[in-house]
Chains A and B, each alone.
Chain A
Amino acid sequence: MNIDSIKNGIVIDHITAGKGMEIYKLLGLDSLDCSVALIKNVASRKMGKKDIIKIDSDFDVDTDILGFVDPDVTVNIIKDGKTAEKKTIGLPERLTNVLVCKNPRCISVTEQELPQIFKLTDKERRVYRCLYCETKAK
């Protein structure tokens, strides 16, 4: 299967196989006008299988969402048909308006204009807690 290479845009590589669609949706790629390719189950030496997303435009990727869903992905920025920058993402220290606090006693549940902020409190166990009430994200 051939997908044209892109001239100026972004390639999200090394997505854990099966997570491509989730990332596609969370990043809101369905609302873009440009060409977007989601390629599933690509053979990978390192991972066995992986997903790849190619976006044929200069799109500002939300690395917080990306890092939270799949911290081992790489983001390649393509300029004039060449890789201009390669970024590894990792777990973000803070997530803003990605998760919603489920604690009915939390101020962010009552005052809905407050940003929903979660902070990484345990990197090893990948635990995020609400900034306001410290409830664990589910």
Chain B
Amino acid sequence: MLSYATKRALIAILTLLAASLVVFAMLEIVPGDPARLMLGMNATEDAVHNLQEQMGLNQPLAIRYFSWLGGLLTGDLGKSYTYSVPVFDLIKERVAVSLPLAVISLALSTLIALPVGIFAASKRGKFSDTLAMGVAQVGVAIPNFWFALLLVYLFAVTLRLVPAGGFPGWGAGFGVSLKSLILPSIALALPQAAILARITRSALLEVLGEDYIRTARAKGLSRRQVLYRHALRNALIPVLTILGLQFAFLLAGTIIIENVFYLPGLGRLVFQAITQRDLIVVEGVVMLLIATLVLVNLLVDLSYAIVDPRLRGRS
């Protein structure tokens, strides 16, 4: 078991190292100079040169890579070119929005998807199954930003129950902050829930066709008992895989929803940093996301073992 964990950790570290090299190299070949961008069209050459020097952009590539990598290892992600504050602080502020948003959306989508998927599978072929899957199909098809705008017009503009967007910061109070995350998390959760419900249903149906289900029914268990005790557990593995992928998406891929609700999340930080050529911020965030992905994959792998005891024996 120990050797398994060590192996996993080594692979993770190697993945991160390789990623750091690729990320750094790719961003360096992108055209555009942050100093010139900052000083604009009227700037004199010597002013641009001075700023490049201040930003440390005049050093050779290799030196910059190793000093950046050295920083990463000691937890120092460097200083943003444009904001001139530590990258770590910038990311920390954004994670305080993106992480709760991702967690709430994921919880919401799971709470909706699992019952709907189970219900549809148990009523297979009946009208209620067709209806539930039809609604889910629409949910998959609707673009989330459009759905978000509908929510804003109904709940913020017309009913004025919640703000149209923005995030007051956790310092402004738990209630108001949570309130500002309600609409975005619904907008994010529903399309994800629709996908998840369909996956749950098809995974369940596949399991329900297995021989051991028939055996369980034959030995006298009720339809309900078979569904929850035997089928559901076995159907959860594909569902967990999708959940892991969705979490990674919800953490970083939500830039469109962040724009619609003007939330200061990670997606917008990365987007803004790319347009401003604040490469050190881009590098920091991308590395963080890769690290998160590696971690989430590990957790998903471990959770397989919880769901399926047969996997615990292997290593």
- Binding between chains A and B: no
